[in-house]
Chain A
Amino acid sequence: MSTIPYVPSPAQRAREEYRRRQTVLSVLIAAASTAAVGTLLAFAVTGAPGWDRVRQSFLDPQIARDALPRVLAGLWLNVRLLVCCAVAALLLGLLIAILRTLRGPVFFPIRALATSYTYTFRGLPLIIVIYVLALGTPGLRLQGMPSVLVLGGAALVLTYSGYLAEVFRAGIESVHPSQLAAARSLGLTYRQTMRHVVLPQAVRRVAPPLLNDIVAMQKDVGLVALAGPIDAVRAAQIATAQTFNFTPYIVAGVLFVLLAIPLIAITDQVTLRAARRQSGG
């Protein structure tokens, strides 16, 4: 550490001044071009011959206000479902990924099962899983059958854990074998090596794609409504049927985007951090 106060040279000050000017300039240019494009778009859309009809049936402010409370109530269900399903799918996905990496003939059946799980649920359309689970299984009339909501959530968890397992597995396999050799040479068992050396590195590396899948899941939570529970999309559908106006769907759509923004922002943040770590900065 030097104790001499740092005084930038004239050349360095000139360089910094130039950079500052360049930054101001590019912000101004960006603002101007955004304004121009926005104005053009607004004219093009509102000037379209069918604009008035579209505005009436999709953008009616009164209907939007009336539908909002019900759609919001539905959205609350989406949020709760998303949190529960995301946590469950992450845990199940991690478990399946670990099972798939087990070595040795003893584990062959477990490995085969985990592998076929990821093949099946990545191939199967989510809608079919929801229908079979939420509408099919109650038909069995078993004792203590969970509600349709839980069954729909389970369908979501089953499908998404298939994807998440593959992301986790990619992360586990991206950890260099020399890390395993180092851990084992210290006397750590296979399990301890996984727990303390491989998984922490793997999860850090695949956090961005994991979060991305959770963003996708956020939208698919709405599909559970197909089986009956009233979520935001279903609430909008009901409101639309009552008013013969599509505005409630727009309300639901806007709310979904608003809900996704924080999640996407976190994903971007994590991705950026991961990229910085990779480049050693």
Chain B
Amino acid sequence: MDVLRCQGLRKVFGDQVVLDGLDLTVAEHQVVALIGASGSGKSTLLRCVNLLEELHDGTIELDGEEISAPGVDPDKVRRRIGMVFQSYNLFPHLSVLDNITLAPRRVHGRSRREAETRARELLDRVGLGAKADAYPDRLSGGQQQRVAIVRALANSPRLLLLDEVTSALDPELVGEVLTMIRDLKADGMTMVLATHEMGFARDVADQVCFLDAGRVVESGPPQQVLADPTHPRTRQFLARIIEAGRL
């Protein structure tokens, strides 16, 4: 069963076409990695799926229901989709625990007790139980990003969108976040992640999509797309990455 189906997505900023008839399908329990040059539209795609950006054409379906249809309440859709950002975006005025329980309590109407019990469970699982009462500015980047992922998970989303969640991190902190994402995959979470970490894409993704000029020009299993690309643009992109020593 497909969790996400995007068809003919189009997004324009001024006279710049960022998404140009993009198609993408994500099956349940699948992990899809979006790769592509800077500015190719990876973040824009994720923001469109989460209805944070207005769409200019095309349709998006979540669990077979069109969420891009007029009259759909975007707030209700976003409850079912988790999103994690490159810059963590934790709320600095709230403790780790309050960051995580905010949406369960205010959006899903859980009691404080219930929400906090679950939040502590999730934090313990990723080894951050001791940080529940700390404020975000007292955490390392890797810890903040793991809290941000836990915050998205606390809503029990159907789909998790991860936008370059490791690119703001020091190299030695990347590992702890990647481990967490691997564990999520093992738990069967459906994920779409934009990344510049080709090694990680190869490791964790079931499918790699190469974006160029607002379209998916090549997609397939990582061994094929990353090791033996067919499209000239993909080859060019990967050659540059290898040159830079990042694969």
A residues at B contact (CB < 8 Å): 178-179, 181-189, 192, 196-197, 200-201, 204, 280
- B78 in complex: contacting residue of A178, A186, A197, CB < 8 Å: A186
Give Cα distance in the complex from A179 to B91, angstroms: 7
- Which 10 residue pairs of A and B lie closest in terms of their CB atoms, listed nearest first? A187-B79, A182-B89, A186-B103, A185-B83, A187-B107, A187-B78, A178-B89, A200-B93, A189-B75, A201-B93
New contact pairs (8) apart from A186-B78, A188-B107, A201-B91, CB-CB < 8 Å = A178-B85, A178-B87, A179-B91, A181-B89, A186-B107, A186-B155, A192-B106, A197-B102
Q: Tell whether A185 pairs with B52 under 8 Å between CB atoms, given A197-B91, A201-B93.
A: yes
- B102 in complex: contacting residue of A178, A188, A280, CB < 8 Å: A188
Q: Which A residues lie within 8 Å of B91 (CB)?
A: 179, 182-183, 197, 201
- A196 in complex: contacting residue of B52, B89, B106, B108, CB < 8 Å: B106
B114 at the interface (CB under 8 A from A): no
Give Cα distance in the complex from A183 to B106, angstroms: 11
B76 at the interface (CB under 8 A from A): yes
Is B75 a contact of A188 with CB atoms below 8 Å? yes
Name which residue of chain A comes closest to B76, CB basis: A187
B151 at the interface (CB under 8 A from A): yes
Is B89 a contact of A187 with CB atoms below 8 Å? no
Is B75 a contact of A201 with CB atoms below 8 Å? no
B residues at A contact (CB < 8 Å): 47, 50, 52, 75-76, 78-79, 81-83, 85, 87, 89-93, 102-103, 106-108, 137, 151-152, 155
- B75 in complex: contacting residue of A187, A196, A204, A280, CB < 8 Å: A187
Name which residue of chain A comes closest to B86, CB basis: A178
Q: Which A residues lie within 8 Å of B81 (CB)?
A: 185
> A188 CB to closest chain B CB, in angstroms?
6
> A105 CB to closest chain B CB, in angstroms?
15
From A185, A187, A204, residue with most partner B Cβ within 10 Å: A185
Is B102 a contact of A196 with CB atoms below 8 Å? yes
Can you list 14 A-B pairs, Cβ within 8 angstroms, ordered by A?
Answer: A181-B85, A182-B90, A185-B50, A185-B78, A185-B81, A186-B107, A186-B155, A187-B75, A187-B76, A188-B106, A192-B106, A196-B102, A201-B92, A201-B93
Q: Which B residues lie within 8 Å of A186 (CB)?
A: 78-79, 102-103, 107, 151-152, 155
Q: Which B residues lie within 8 Å of A183 (CB)?
A: 91
> B46 CB to closest chain A CB, in angstroms?
10
> B93 CB to closest chain A CB, in angstroms?
5
- B137 in complex: contacting residue of A182, A197, A280, CB < 8 Å: A280
